Structure 1
Amino acid sequence: MTEAETLEKKKQQHKSSNGDLPPEAARDDAFDNTYKEKDGPKPPRIIVWRNVILMTLLHIGALYGVYLIPSASAATLLWSVVCFVISGLGITAGAHRLWSHRSYKASLPLRIFLSVANSMAFQNDIFEWARDHRVHHKYSETDADPHNAVRGFFFAHIGWLLVRKHPDVIEKGRKLELKDLLNDKVVMFQRKYYKLSVLIMCFFIPTIVPWYLWGESLWVAYFLPGLLRYTLVLNASWLVNSAAHMWGNRPYDKHINPRENKFVTFSAIGEGFHNYHHTFPYDYATSEYGWKLNLTTCFIDLMCFLGLAKDCKRVPHELVLARIQRTGDGSHRSG
């Protein structure tokens, strides 16, 4: 029996460290309070200079895209917003809520759409994203957390991508039970052809559509719906790891770092209810407020209405209230 299977069995027999997790949610995304950081000096930070250079050039290109905004047509600006939302859903509704937390079930057509949208977002393939995110939840704010916010805002936001992973991140990631991802043909297909799908979806399609359909210049089309849109999606996602772990209130669990942050909620289309999410990671809405500031939950509910999604997991209201009373910081307001 693997370490993950042993932990899951124990959590099904006893109440988990999170207090209110039902058996079906006590899996790789549940916090493991048995992990202990190794004594002694920390391993040296090894800078990945290729990533530093690429991220620097990307953000310079995005700033130039901001400069080009006045010269873009209204249709191009609207197309940029559409690409932003599609990209965002590929992360939030796809890699995060569906594949990382298994908080709802999606039909094959919806899974294909979300995998394509995920390639447009270009934040590692679904398998790698989900694996690292489960490690993040299981070992949050420790050396085994890929973007440990205890190491500061810059590290949690972008720095973790500019250095080699801590050895504990790699070790713990290898021990996770990932059969659901390995058995998902959509996930494996996207992983196999990820580089090609990124070139097509993240750069080619956003650039070619405005040029071909309404005569936008290729220059503007590349820098706005291409580079600027991509950079904004990246930073919106990174804010969940950085700002939402540092600033805001903690109405559900004052003993953990993740916070409720309205700015992050807006920019990341619903992912800023982060204290709730880390308290109840299996809830498909990542919030007790349904559609409020939560475009991703609206999208998933629409997919359910259309018959493309089902079995959305929700936390019973009485459990939420009990958790608020037991571990909240007193800042909770209903509605």
Structure 2
Amino acid sequence: MATRYIDGAAGPLAGAVVSDLDEVPLPSPDVRNNKRPLEIVWRNVVLMALIHLGAIYGLFLLPSARAYSLLWVVFCSVVVTCGLTAGAHRLWSHRSYKARLPLRVFLAIANSMSFQGSVYEWCRDHRVHHKYCDTDADPYNAARGFFFAHVGWVFLRKHPDVKAKGKLLDMSDLMEDPVVRMQKKFYIPSAVLMCFVIPSLVPLLWDESLSNAYFICALLRLAVALHCTWSVNSFAHMWGTRPYDKHITPTENLVVSIFAGGEGWHNYHHAFPVDYSSSEFGWKVNPTTVFIDVMAWLGLAYDLKKASPGVVRARAARTGDRSFKEHVQ
């Protein structure tokens, strides 16, 4: 497996993928607390309310679920995690490695199962988040509080700065990928099929009740997955250490890494966003890295980028919070 050590993002995508020098400094308090009327997207409020009410009902149905159904939930959750972390995040948002067509097709399908927007939309918001972290141009701006960073951003219309700054980013690399274009074009039907229909129908093969299949395998699974992803935007921006850059809000959060497929090593990720592992720990509490390494062994992933140890140590010494030695054993 070939791993290419890098000092930061380079090449024509450096501005879009964001190097460790591209993070925008924290804005002054008057900018971070810019008051403007809140525009609630009631469609999203109602949709999320229905999903969570169904998930709560699914909790009560759990004792009656068949063992195969619970295994199916785990399998679907793993697929969704791959689609988000290995796909939309590390592959398409940051170009931290390259993937051959079969893997890209799988990751796009898995992303549809997440019900978190198309690959294109997800990547656009995430690139803006990195480029303008904790400013009004950040879609899930942690400076607006825990609730907004976690889920409030879903309920409200984007701040005008998000749209304005987003238009400045070069997204041409995504539209050059036919897999991304196809998934973007057919996202709604693919999301309904992969997130709701298939998870609800497959359990019927082992005589699971339709209500259990729908409320547990579809809605409960979806609600949990949403909160696991959202925890990276909230918990991993508020609680934890900052061994690589103490001047930004992202933190190293073990609990988030456990529930979000290894995405909780967030201070490292914002310092070195083009590192395919999003961590210097290798496989330690980072199943997404394991997945990418296995795909590389199979020949489906290649050109894995990794921040060089010397650059990591230098960055920690220069801007870290002095907890670096506590993280590296």
| TM-score, structure 2 normalization | 0.92
Shift of residue 67 of structure 1? 1.1
Q: Are the counterparts in 2 of residues 254 and 328 from structure 1 also a CA contact under 8 Å?
A: yes
Residue aligning to 1:21: 8
Residue aligning to 1:210: 203
Distance (Å, rounded) in 2 between the aligned partners of 1:41 and 1:270:
33
Residue aligning to 1:192: 185
Residue aligning to 2:131: 138
Higher relative contact order (CA 8 A, sep 6+): 2
Residue aligning to 1:73: 66
Residue aligning to 2:4: none
Q: Are the counterparts in 2 of residues 29 and 135 from structure 1 also a CA contact under 8 Å?
A: no
**Letter of the 1:92 counterpart:** T
Residue aligning to 2:271: 279
Distance (Å, rounded) in 2 between the aligned partners of 1:209 and 1:114:
20
Distance (Å, rounded) in 1 between the aligned partners of 2:148 and 2:192:
27
Q: Deviations over 1:274-308 (max 9, x none)?
A: 00000000000000000000010000000000000
Shift of residue 22 of structure 1? 4.5
| SS of aligned partner of 1:313 | strand
**Which runs of 5 or more residues in structure 1 are unaligned?**
1-19
Distance (Å, rounded) in 2 between the aligned partners of 1:257 and 1:127:
25
Q: Confirm whether residue 334 of structure 1 aligns to residue 328 of structure 2.
A: yes
Shift of residue 42 of structure 1? 3.1
**Letter of the 1:278 counterpart:** H
| Aligned sequence identity (%) | 57
Q: Confirm whether residue 59 of structure 1 aligns to residue 52 of structure 2.
A: yes
Paired residues, what number? 315
Shift of residue 324 of structure 1? 1.3
Distance (Å, rounded) in 2 between the aligned partners of 1:270 and 1:181:
24
Distance (Å, rounded) in 2 between the aligned partners of 1:181 and 1:307:
22
| SS of aligned partner of 2:219 | helix
Shift of residue 27 of structure 1? 2.2
Distance (Å, rounded) in 1 between the aligned partners of 2:167 and 2:242:
31
Residue aligning to 1:4: none
- Specify which of 152, 161, 166 is matched with residue 159 of structure 2: 166
CA RMSD of aligned residues (A): 1.6
Q: Deviations over 1:212-251 (max 9, x none)?
A: 2x11111101111100111111110000000000000011
| TM-score, structure 1 normalization | 0.91
Runs of 4+ deviating beyond 2 Å: 20-27, 29-43
Distance (Å, rounded) in 2 between the aligned partners of 1:106 and 1:41:
41
**Letter of the 2:17 counterpart:** D
Q: Confirm whether residue 288 of structure 1 aligns to residue 275 of structure 2.
A: no
Counterparts of residues 309-320 of structure 1 (less than 5 Å): 309-320=301-312
Shift of residue 125 of structure 1? 0.2
Q: Confirm whether residue 33 of structure 1 aligns to residue 24 of structure 2.
A: yes
Q: Deviations over 1:186-233 (max 9, x none)?
A: 001001111110111101111111112x11111101111100111111
